[in-house]
Amino acid sequence: MRLTDCHNIDDFRRLAKARLPFPVFDYIDGAADDELTKARNTAAYDSVDLVPDVLAGVETIDTSCMILGRKSALPLMLSPTAVQRAFHWQGETAVAKAAEKFGLWFGISSLATRSIEEIAALTTGPKLFQLYVHKDTGLNTHMIERCQAAGFDALALTVDTIVSGKRERCLRSGFTTPPRFTPASVWSYATRPRWTLDYVLREKFRLPNLDTHVSEGTNKAVSIAEYFNTMLDTSMDWDTAAAIRQQWGGTFVLKGVMSVADARRAVEMGADAIMLSNHGGRQLDGSRAPFDQLPEIVDAVGGQIEIICDGGVRRGTHALKALCSGATAASGGRLYLYALAAAGQDGVERALGILKDEIERAMRLMGVTSVDQLTADRLRARPVL
C-alpha cells in the first residue's frame, strides 16, 4: 500500500499500521478499557442524516469561518496530541506546516516533541497550546510564560486527565516515552526498519516543554499512564482553572467538558470556548460521544460560548453534521495522526486535502454556499428515523 492508495482516513490508518511497530501503532489507535467510547465517537455521526436543498446555485462557496477570533479556511481544527516524534521523525513540524498550508488551527500538547518556540517560529497560522496541569506549579507557570512570549493564540486547559484511563493495548505492548525495545516487541521494530532507523539515527526523542523541570518522558522512559498518574495534579478544580485563565490572560479554552452543568460553569468563569471531548475515548470508557452530547450543550449555552466538537471525525461530512447541530467547528487528532505516521508531512497534507474536498463537495450537494448557513439552520441535520 502506498500514499497514493489512501483516499480516506481509514486508508491512512491501514498504511500507518503497516509502517509502524505495533506498540507505536497501538498507542495511536488504542483507547481505554473495551474501547467502546472510541468506537462510539465516530459511530455517533451515523445517528444523524443530512437534509440537502437543491437548485441553490453553489458555483461559488465559502468554507471559511471564525474560530477563537481567527479565520480558519475550514470549520476544522487539528487537536493537540502528544509525542508525535514517536510516530514519524518529522513530528509536530509536519503537522504545523500542513496546517499553515491549509489555513487551519493547529494545537500542540504539553507533551509535544517540538518546543513552544520551535513551533512559533515555524508558522504564522493560529496556534493553540494544550496545558496539562502538573503538581509542579513552577512548570505550569514556565509553560504559560513561554506561550505568551512565543505569541500563541490560545491556551486549552485539559480537564479530563486527572488520572489516566486504563489503556490496555499499551499495557500489553509496554509502550513508553521515549519508546524502548522490549523482548515482546523487538521483532516488530526489526521488521519496520524505516521507522527504526529514523528513530535511532535522527534527532533524539525529547519532550522540550517539560525537560527543563522533569526527566520523565525524555531521559527516563515512562508509560503515558504512569506519567499522568504521578505527575499531574489530581487536586485541580474550578478555582485552579480560573487562576490559570487569569494568569494566561488571552483566549482560553476548556478541553474535556461534556456535561451541561460544566458547560454553564465554563460560561460563568469567562472561558472563550469549550471543546466537547472525551480524549478520544482514552480516559473514561463508557462515556458519551461528544457529538451525542452536542445538542444538549448547544441548547444550554449556544451563543454564549464557542463550542468545538472534538473526536471521532473521519469524514468531511462529520464536520458538517457538527456544524448543523450547533457547533462552532469540529476537531480531531487521529484524523491527521494516522496520516503523519503513514507518510509525514506529505501524508498530513494529503489527508487534509481529502477532508477539504469532502467538505466542499458535501456543501455543494447540500445546497449551501457558506459555513454560516450550516450553523444557522439546525434543521439540516435530522436524527435517523
By annotation, the residues acting in catalysis are: 279
Rounded CA-CA distance 38/252 in Å is 26
Reported residue count of the chain is 385
Rounded CA-CA distance 168/26 in Å is 10
In one-letter notation, the amino acid at residue 290 is P
CB 126 within 8 A of CB 100: no
Residue that is written with C-alpha cell 488520572 in the block:
163
Rounded CA-CA distance 381/41 in Å is 17
ω into 126 cis (within 30 of 0): no
CA distances from 246 to 127, 201, 251, 353 (A): 19, 43, 10, 38
* Cβ count within 10 A of residue 7: 10
Residue 254, beta-bridge partner list: 157, 274
* Cβ count within 10 A of residue 325: 24
Q: Which three cell numbers stand for residue 98?
A: 500542513
Residue 202: closest CA among 88, 117, 292? 88
Burial of 33 (0-12, 13-18, 19+ CB in 10 A): middle
Q: Which helix (H) or strand (E) holds 365?
A: helix 334-366
Rounded CA-CA distance 203/285 in Å is 36
CA distances from 275 to 46, 53, 56, 91, 378 (A): 21, 30, 32, 24, 19
| Helix, strand or coil, per DSSP, at residue 71 | strand
